[in-house]
Structure 1
Amino acid sequence: MHVNTPRDLAALPYADRLEPFIGEIEHAGAYEWLHFDGTTFEGGEAGSSLFSQSAFSSVSFNGGRLRRSRFDEVWLHAVRMVGTNLAETTWLDSECAASVFAGTEIHGSEMRRVVFHQCKFDSVNLRATSLKDVAFVGCLLRDVDFGGARLADVRFPGSTLDRVRLDRATLTGVDLREATALGIASGIDSLNGATISTPQLFDLAPDLAQHIGLTVSDD
């Protein structure tokens, strides 16, 4: 993964093979070596599709269903997904930058070796999702639900977590030390398996004390 800085379109190993996409995406479609550029998709059913070695630039999805689709080596930049159904999708070796996910359903999905750069996640459902070797770099995660999710080797450098829910989530090798804010709305007991910094521990201390029933009094 290119964690430090996002790549430009021209830097993609398959950039020379890309062809402009024209038309609408369809259910169970197969899309390889295509460049989706400046397109807005209104609703539509495109579930169970395969996107392979393709690029998305300034593309908007307003609603619509991409359920059970697969994204292999896909590059996304300035993409907006609002109210889009991405449940049970599979993401592999993909990169997403400067994009917005709002009211998006991504629950039950699987992500492997995926990096998000400067993305905004607002009211996103990631329940029961499996994330392995995923990085959120300089992102905002607000009202994101990781309930029942499995996070392994996930990092959040420069990211802000605001009212994130971790109820019944399983964390393994999760590194939160470089997150700029660690706002956990619920499921603080699921932080077992994560690494945080000393200042973050002080910030979480009131919630941790409340969780274990510890009374702190200086009287």
Structure 2
Amino acid sequence: MAKPTRTSAPRIDVIRLSDLDDADAASLVAGSDHEGVRVAGGDLSGLDLTGIRLRETEIAGVSAHDLHLRGADIAESVFDRWDAPVLRSPRASLRDVVVSNSRIGSVEFSENTWQSVHLVGCKLGFVNLRGSSLRDVQFTDCTIEELDLGGARVERMAFAASDVRSLDVTGARLADVDLRGLDLDVSGVEGLRGATMDELQVALIATRLAEHLGIRIVG
């Protein structure tokens, strides 16, 4: 008998930020370039920061309702204690990024590119990652109401001590996506290929799997 294939865990790089220069939230504008700075506090609500570039940057304790980050290019950065009921960030690129202790309601992350992204202690509402390319993503101690991975390519994603209420994987391509332990409602069961689930989770979606495969269940 062949041994079961082991699910590979996300590879999350450790981010160490030191000797950061203090900056004001007002310095963050569309198309601006920031490296080695710390923004502590401020209101980013309603701002258009399209195309902003952040490197080795920490932004903490900000309000960011209806903040626009379209096409943002972010690497080796930390976002802590964000309050963002609505966040719009389509076609953004995140590499080696930590988002922690934040409350984010509806977030538009469609067509994003992520690599080594860690969300820790966050409460998230509707997270739209449709059509995104995601590699090495970890959710730790997070609550997510709805996670939309429709049409996304996902490699090595895991959820530790987290809760996802609803997951849409319609048309997704998954590899090493560990869903074990989550009590969730799944849409697009055909997109679960490449995911790892426990026996109870599979039993709960067995009827929908059978319908997708054209299997008639007769009592």
Paired letter, 1:191: L
Residue aligning to 2:149: 146
Residue segments in structure 2 that go unaligned for 5+ positions in a row: 1-9
Any conservation in 1 of the 2:176–2:194 contact (CA below 8 Å)?
A: yes
| Partner secondary structure for residue 208 of structure 1 | helix
The match for 1:66 among 51, 56, 69 is 69
**Higher normalized contact order (CA 8 Å, seq sep 6+, divided by chain length):** 2
**CA-to-aligned-CA distance 1:110-141 (integer Å, 9 cap, x gap):** 00011111222212221101110111112222
TM-score (norm 2): 0.87
For 2:112 and 2:105, locate their aligned partners in 1 and report how far apart those are by CA, in whole Å.
17
Residue aligning to 1:89: 92
Paired letter, 2:182: T
Identify if the C-alpha distance between structure 1 residues 18 and 125 changes in structure 2 by more than 3 Å, giving closer, same or farther: same
Residue aligning to 2:60: 57
Output the aligned Cα RMSD.
2.0
Paired letter, 2:42: T
More strand by share: 2
The match for 1:182 among 173, 181, 184 is 184
Residue segments in structure 1 that go unaligned for 5+ positions in a row: none
Identify if the C-alpha distance between structure 1 residues 22 and 125 changes in structure 2 by more than 3 Å, giving closer, same or farther: closer
- How many corresponding residue pairs? 209
Any conservation in 2 of the 1:90–1:110 contact (CA below 8 Å)?
A: yes
**2:170 maps to 1:133:** no
What is the identity percentage for the equivalent residue pairs of Structure 1 and Structure 2?
24
Residue aligning to 2:207: 206
TM-score (norm 1): 0.87
The match for 1:169 among 129, 154, 172 is 172
Give, in angstroms, the shift of residue 158 of structure 1: 2.0
For 1:134 and 1:18, locate their aligned partners in 2 and report how far apart those are by CA, in whole Å.
28
Regions of 4+ moved over 4 Å = none
